[in-house]
Amino acid sequence: MRTTTSFVAGALVASVAQAQVVQWDIVKRQTASNKLTRRQGDTFTEVITNEKLRGGYFATCQVGTPAQNLTLQLDTGSSDIWVPSSSASVCEQSGDDGCTFGSFDESASTSFTVVGENEFSISYVDGSSSKGDYIAETFEIGGATLDNMTMGLGLRTDIPYGLVGVGYALNEAIVANTQSASSSYDNLPVLLQKQGLINTNAYSLWLNDLDANTGSILFGGIDTEKYQGDLTRINIYKDSSSQAFTSFTVAMTSLQAVSSSGADSLSSSAFPIPVVLDSGTTFSYLPTDLAEQVWREVGAEYYPQYGVPLLPCNMENSAGYFSFGFGGSGGPVINVTMDELVVSLADGDPYTFPSGQHSGQAACQFGLQNFSTSTYLLGDTFLRSAYVVYDLVNNEIALAPTDFNATDSNVIAFPSEGAQIPSATAAPNQAEVTQSGSLTTPTYGASGGFKDDAASAASMLLPAFDWSRIAVMGVSMSLMMVGSGFFLL
Ligand SMILES: *[C@@H]1O[C@H](CO)[C@@H](O)[C@H](O)[C@H]1NC(C)=O
Ligand SMILES: *[C@@H]1O[C@H](CO)[C@@H](O)[C@H](O)[C@H]1NC(C)=O
Ligand SMILES: *[C@@H]1O[C@H](CO)[C@@H](O)[C@H](O)[C@H]1NC(C)=O
Ligand SMILES: *[C@@H]1O[C@H](CO)[C@@H](O)[C@H](O)[C@H]1NC(C)=O
Ligand SMILES: *[C@@H]1O[C@H](CO)[C@@H](O)[C@H](O)[C@H]1NC(C)=O
């Protein structure tokens, strides 16, 4: 069964351009959901290969002359803008199956130029892909217009909407495909800086609450009213094969479970864990040894048939939380509360656990999942709780606890190219972070508190699991898949 959830009404919020910064308001949208597919191998990719439509953060922009409106997903895990062509077969389907977020009719644009025929080809970690031409077009976001923006035109794709990748230029698909750094082009944040719209290649991301509809990306500045406490800077890791900065990988150095009954420091043989802060990924993916402790704390059960952990929906009322630490002692700490981590199964119908410790209770998905490769991702279920500043010139990321639903604004622009993140101090001990992980079993002292807090409103008359009908919200992992790396020329 395919089910469709309605789009957020009034979703397209006006953006503002201010001097030296460009703000783009982003909207959380739930796309039509797909049936959760049965896992076959032990790679996560297979679970979502069939996912045609995905969850995530979207924003509107204009492409071409005259301008065509498109709604694109914001992605820190890739570096190309691409738009689906109206002629792509995925866009020729009708109704909710088509490209409901808009597609680009290149034949209707007078500014359309092909700059690389058949040279655009991108694959994401979840197995989805887009292929076609590189084009140069007029691109407008947040009131800023860029002429001659290089982007992909998706002529053959299984994704019915485009993306705006804002990562490092060296992570562009063309660089991976040619294995040559010299083929990189000025992508969106670089061009914003070169055309003088912002001073330096940096931006801040505020996703806001799981239940809120809008967040924003602020190019060229920070907004001190959108976070609590202070921003703390940590280093971005280089890619180990190319020795270049290509992804927003940082060192996650601790994870604590905290509830009314205690606090547990969780362990992993993978600490310090290299994690990619990826806005294009819906959930967060930790090493299995760590994820299993997290699940035990909250009573989540892993369902191997579907490859996801489920837990009672009423756990969203738990006052417990997880503290993520980065960059060693004294580094930034982000607390993620349970209400940000309990995600409904998207078809709207509640399902109850048929048996086991949660028998009779409504089932939800848990936002902290596991992954088997060394690519660990902190996606939207983590990022909503953090204010994140990405500085692509100094190769640093600053983090602070978010201020949910903040309405005030105090924007500070980076003063010049290469300026450090304003109002941020460096994590004091990150130079000492070394490989030191080991797995020890926690006492699970916090576990009882997680569950006590949750209202035990169990025995509603709900249908039991009908696995053939279970649907999950659209899930994306829009981290660009890199093959064998590339060589710096
Ligand atoms: C594009 O979107 C803007 C703002 O949402 C709207 O005013 C305009 O009419 C739209 N243009 C087209 C061609 O749909
Ligand atoms: C457009 O961009 C391309 C790629 O960045 C560049 O080679 C070309 O010179 C630009 N053309 C104009 C007219 O600015
Ligand atoms: C933020 O706003 C949303 C929507 O109004 C609300 O559901 C949510 O509880 C708010 N979050 C906080 C932390 O106040
Ligand atoms: C996050 O949790 C830690 C550990 O319980 C606590 O010391 C800290 O004050 C919390 N931070 C915020 C911003 O609530
Ligand atoms: C996730 O954890 C489960 C349960 O521990 C395990 O069976 C599964 O293989 C793990 N998945 C991945 C992708 O590592």
**Sheet containing 301-303: which strands, arranged edge to edge?**
301-303, 308-312, 363-366, 342-343
How many domains are there within the chain? 2
Is residue 53 predicted with pLDDT exceeding 50? Answer: no
**Active site (annotated) includes residue 75:** yes
Considering the domain architecture, whether residues 479 and 358 belong to the same structural domain is answered as yes
Considering the domain architecture, whether residues 210 and 233 belong to the same structural domain is answered as no
Please give the number of the atom of ligand 1 that sits closest to the Cα of 12: 5
Please tell me if the CB atom of residue 405 comes closer than 6 angstroms to any atom of ligand 3: yes
**Residue 469 in tokens:** 């009908």
338 and 365 Cβ atoms separated by less than 8 Å: no
Name which residue sits closest to atom 9 of ligand 1, judged by CA: 69
The CATH number of the domain where 48 resides is what? 2.40.70.10
Domain boundary among 161, 192, 223: 223
Averaged confidence pLDDT in the chain? 82
Task: Please write the tens of the pLDDT for every residue from 419-465.
Answer: 999 999 999 999 888 767 788 889 999 999 998 766 544 444 444 44
Q: Ligand 1: distance of its center to the CA of 69 in Å? A: 6
| Catalytic residue, candidates 133, 223, 278, 380 | 278
Task: Please write the tens of the pLDDT for every residue from 287-302.
Answer: 999 999 999 999 999 9
**Residue 457 in tokens:** 């409103």
Considering the domain architecture, whether residues 117 and 243 belong to the same structural domain is answered as no
Name which residue sits closest to atom 12 of ligand 2, judged by CA: 148
Name which residue sits closest to atom 1 of ligand 1, judged by CA: 69
User: pTM, whole model, 2 decimals?
Assistant: 0.87
* Nearest CA-CA partner of 312 in 368, 357, 282: 357
Bridge-based pairing of strands 81-84 and 144-157 is parallel
- Residue 10 neighbours by CB under 8 Å, 6+ apart: none
Task: Please write the tens of the pLDDT for every residue from 82-108.
Answer: 999 999 999 988 777 789 889 999 999
Is residue 32 predicted with pLDDT exceeding 80? Answer: no
Q: Ligand 2: distance of its center to the CA of 154 in Å? A: 20
Pairwise CA distance, residues 130 & 73, whole Å: 14
Please give the number of the atom of ligand 5 that sits closest to the Cα of 302: 4
* Nearest CA-CA partner of 247 in 219, 287, 276: 276
For a mutational test of ligand 5's pocket, the pick from 39, 40, 42, i.e. the residue with the most ligand atoms closer than 8 A to its C-beta, is 42
Res. 28 pLDDT band, cuts 50 70 90: low
Please tell me if the CB atom of residue 12 comes closer than 6 angstroms to any atom of ligand 1: yes
Considering the domain architecture, whether residues 309 and 200 belong to the same structural domain is answered as no
CA 247 to chain centre: 13
Name which residue sits closest to atom 7 of ligand 5, judged by CA: 304
Q: Tell me, yes or no, whether 28 lies in a domain.
A: yes
Q: Tell me, yes or no, whether 394 lies in a domain.
A: no
**Rounded mean pLDDT, 383-405:** 96
Its domain, for residue 310, covers 229-387+425-484
Please give the number of the atom of ligand 4 that sits closest to the Cα of 258: 5
Task: Please write the tens of the pLDDT for every residue from 174-193.
Answer: 998 998 999 999 999 999 99
Pairwise CA distance, residues 247 & 229, whole Å: 26
Q: Which of the pair, 275 or 141, is modelled with greater confidence?
A: 275
Considering the domain architecture, whether residues 266 and 163 belong to the same structural domain is answered as no
Task: State percent of the chain over pLDDT 70.
Answer: 80
Q: Ligand 2: distance of its center to the CA of 150 in Å? A: 8
**Active site (annotated) includes residue 25:** no
